[in-house]
C-alpha cells in the first residue's frame, strides 16, 4: 500500500537540492519516505525497503507536476495583470 502526503515547504532544503529521507513507521510495519526538491517536501508510505526507490520517484514526479502547475498559474496571473487575453485551449 502506498500514498502521497501533503505538500510542505521545507526550511531545511536549500536551492535546487533534492533529498530523500527514510524512516520506520512508529509501529515498525512500514517506511515513511520523504522527498524534498526545490524547497518543497512530500511524504509517502511504503510497506517494504525494496519499494522506497519507486515511492521516491513518485513523490519527485508529484512535486514536479505541482511545481509546473503553480508556474502556469503564475504566468496566467501575470498575463491578466498586464491585460493580455487568455490563451485558447486546444481542441
Q: Where are the domains of the chain?
A: 3-81
**pLDDT band at residue 85 under the 50/70/90 scheme:** confident
Question: Residue 4: what pLDDT?
Answer: 46
Is 91 or 40 the better-scoring residue by pLDDT?
40
pTM above the 0.85 mark?
no
pLDDT tens digits for 17-74?
889 999 999 999 999 999 999 889 999 999 999 999 999 999 999 999 999 998 999 9
| 33, 46 contact by CB (below 8 A) | yes
What is the distance between the alpha carbons of residues 70 and 64, in angstroms, rounded to a whole number? 10
Q: Mention every residue, 6+ apart, whose C-beta is less than 8 A from residue 76.
A: 86
Amino acid at each position: 500500500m502506498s500514498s502521497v502526503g501533503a505538500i510542505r515547504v521545507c526550511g531545511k532544503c536549500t536551492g535546487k537540492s533534492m533529498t530523500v529521507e527514510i524512516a520506520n513507521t512508529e509501529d515498525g510495519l512500514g517506511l515513511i519516505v520523504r522527498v524534498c526538491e526545490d524547497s518543497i517536501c512530500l511524504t509517502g508510505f511504503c510497506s517494504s525497503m525494496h519499494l522506497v526507490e519507486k515511492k521516491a520517484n513518485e513523490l519527485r514526479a508529484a512535486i514536479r507536476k505541482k511545481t509546473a502547475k503553480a508556474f502556469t498559474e503564475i504566468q496566467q496571473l501575470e498575463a491578466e495583470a498586464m491585460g493580455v487575453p487568455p490563451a485558447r485551449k486546444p481542441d
